[in-house]
Structure 1
Amino acid sequence: MITCVVHYTIDPAQIPAFERFAHEWMRLVAAHGGIHHGYFLPAEGASDRAEALFSFDSLAAYEQYRTRFGVDPEFIAADRIRDESGCVLRYERTFMRPLLPPAA
């Protein structure tokens, strides 16, 4: 399993747009074989930081999902929310492998 952690710097004035963007990506990840663990939005402290975590069975499965970027109309529409609202100022992806608790 590979987990993608996306670190966002967001515009705090555009949180409703960011939430629309996030809901679309949670739906798309799930529809294309991934597991979305959610978006984590500011509650206290820095108001311009958000995180997202989602997993695929392998890096190859993630790469298959990525082939839809810039091609699939639903992916393009989801990115349009970000681009037109300016809700995301910048982001970076980190790929991690989870260390889970042992089975009971």
Structure 2
Amino acid sequence: MITCHVRYVIDPKKIAQFERYARMWIPLVEKFGGTHHGYFLPAEGANNIALALFSFPSLAAYEQYRHDSVADPDCQAAFEYAEQTDCVLSYERSFLRPLLAQDTK
């Protein structure tokens, strides 16, 4: 399993727009075989940083999702919404190998 950690720099004046964008992606990741662990929006501290975590069975499955999402109309709508609202200023991805509770037994 591989987990993608996305760190977003967002416009703090457009948190509502970013939240709408985030709500679009949760079911889309799942549509393509991933498990979305949620978005984490600013609460205390930095007001312009948001995080997302989602997993795929393998890096190959993640790469297939990336490839297929480009042609998917719902994914394209999410990309366009972010572009139109300019709620995401930048983002960076990291890939992690999770150690989960069931892995400790």
Q: Please say whether Structure 1 and Structure 2 have the same fold, judged by a TM-score greater than 0.5.
A: yes
What are the ranges of 5 or more consecutive residues in structure 1 without an aligned counterpart? Answer: none
The letter of the residue matching 2:10 is I
C-alpha displacement of 1:88: 0.3
1:57-68 matches, within 5 Å, as 57-68=57-68
Matched, 1:13 2:13: yes
- Specify which structure has the higher proportion of helix: 2
Uncovered stretches (5+) of structure 2, i.e. residues with no partner: none
| 1:10–1:48 CA contact under 8 A, matched in 2 | yes
How many residues get paired?
A: 103
* Distance of 1:22 and 1:59 partners within structure 2: 22
- Counterparts of 2:73 and 2:35, CA distance in 1: 21
CA distance in 1 between partners of 2:18 and 2:82 (Å) = 7
Q: Within 5 Å, which residues of 2 pair with 1:49-88?
A: 49-88=49-88
Identity of aligned residues (%): 58
Code of the aligned partner of 1:34: G
Supply the distance in 2 between the matched residues of 1:33 and 1:100 (Cα, whole angstroms): 19
SS in 1 for 2:3: strand
Counterpart secondary structure, 2:69: coil
Q: SS at 1:55's partner residue?
A: strand
Deviation at 1:69, TM superposition (A): 3.4
Q: Which runs of 4+ in 1 moved over 4 A?
A: none
> C-alpha root-mean-square deviation of aligned residues, in Å?
0.9
